[in-house]
Amino acid sequence: MTEVLAYIGCGVLAGLFGGYLGLGGGVVIVPFLTLAMGVDIKQAVPVSMAAIVVNSLSASSEYMKKGLVDIEIMVPLAIAMVLGMIVGSSALYFVPQQYVRLLLAVILVYSAVSLLRGQEKPAHHREQNKRTRLIIGCLLATIGGLMGGLAGVGGGIILIPLMFLLIGLPLSTARGTSSFIVGFSGAASLGVYFLSGLVNLTVAPPVMLGSVIGGKFGGKLGALAKPKIVKILLFIVLLWVSYKLVTTAIREMQ
């Protein structure tokens, strides 16, 4: 019983955190399941993916209610991301992943610093060269998806800085749009794990239950959040993921 409550608690925490920031929540779930609960990483990742998808359903709906999802930017970026992930996962056996992890870590550190220093752009600025910036954004989302697929990093962490810094969306809209996209890219991965029989059907329900509840409240809070707090939290998450990428790459090189 205690174990079940711990899984639900993990899901709620991940849902709150992921929904608030517009990420999936895998940053919380995978370390918790592997380090605190002793779940094997091969089982933790599919469970995390299932939780990310239901978290996205809950959180993105809250952002959408407040008009914080840009659906016209979301659709092309989601296509670019999914296509990049297809290429990335198929190139797993041909590309040395440790170098991709190091490169992605450098990009994420740069994004973290730029995000922290970046200012919201006025509406008229967003309209200038909108199409060109969207095309460049799609190209970068494809590369981001490709690198994410190779390095095992989710889409939100790449998409939010991209939408805020390059496309010029307000941070709240970038997070709302990202929370929508991670659901679609996550569903594609979940479908694979599910059809391969890799989702642990005992661990998944309490984590998904927690995540679906936490995502709702995370989305509600996230839609009202102050940009400064969000920027600091995203900065910390981006640095944390970069650190994990570097340590994993160094371990693989040894």
Partner 1 sequence: MNAAHGRLKTLVVFDHWSWLLFVAWFTVATVLNALGSSAGAAVTYWGIVAVLVDNVMRLVLLAAHFELEKKSTYLGLTVVLILAMIASILFQLWVH
- Contact set with partner 1 (CB under 8 A): 1, 4, 8, 50, 53-54, 57-58, 60-61, 64-65, 71-72, 75-76, 78-79, 82-83, 85-86, 89-90, 183-184, 187-192, 194-196, 199, 201-202, 204-206, 208-209, 212-213, 216
Of 96 and 191, which has the nearer Cβ to partner 1?
A: 191
Q: Which is nearer to partner 1, 53 or 237 (CB)?
A: 53
Judged by beta carbon, residue 1 or residue 123, the one nearer partner 1 is 1
Residue 138 or 230: which CB sits closer to partner 1? 138
Q: Any idea which residue has 């895998």 for tokens? A: 26
109 vs 134 by CB, closer to partner 1 = 134
CB of 75 to partner 1, least distance (A): 5
Distance of closest approach, residue 228 Cβ to partner 1, in angstroms: 28
Residue 152 to residue 160: CA distance in whole angstroms: 17
Helices (H) and strands (E) in the chain, counts: 11, 0
- Give the residue from 135, 226, 222 showing the smallest Cα distance to 177: 222
Supply φ then ψ for residue 23, to 5 degrees: -100, 180
How many C-alpha atoms does 129 have within 13 Å on its Cβ side? 8
The answer to whether residues 47 and 207 touch, using CB atoms and an 8 Å cutoff, is yes
Closest separation in Å from C-beta 178 to partner 1: 15
Cα–Cα distance, 217 to 205 (Å, whole number): 19
Minimal distance in Å, beta carbon 74 to partner 1?
9
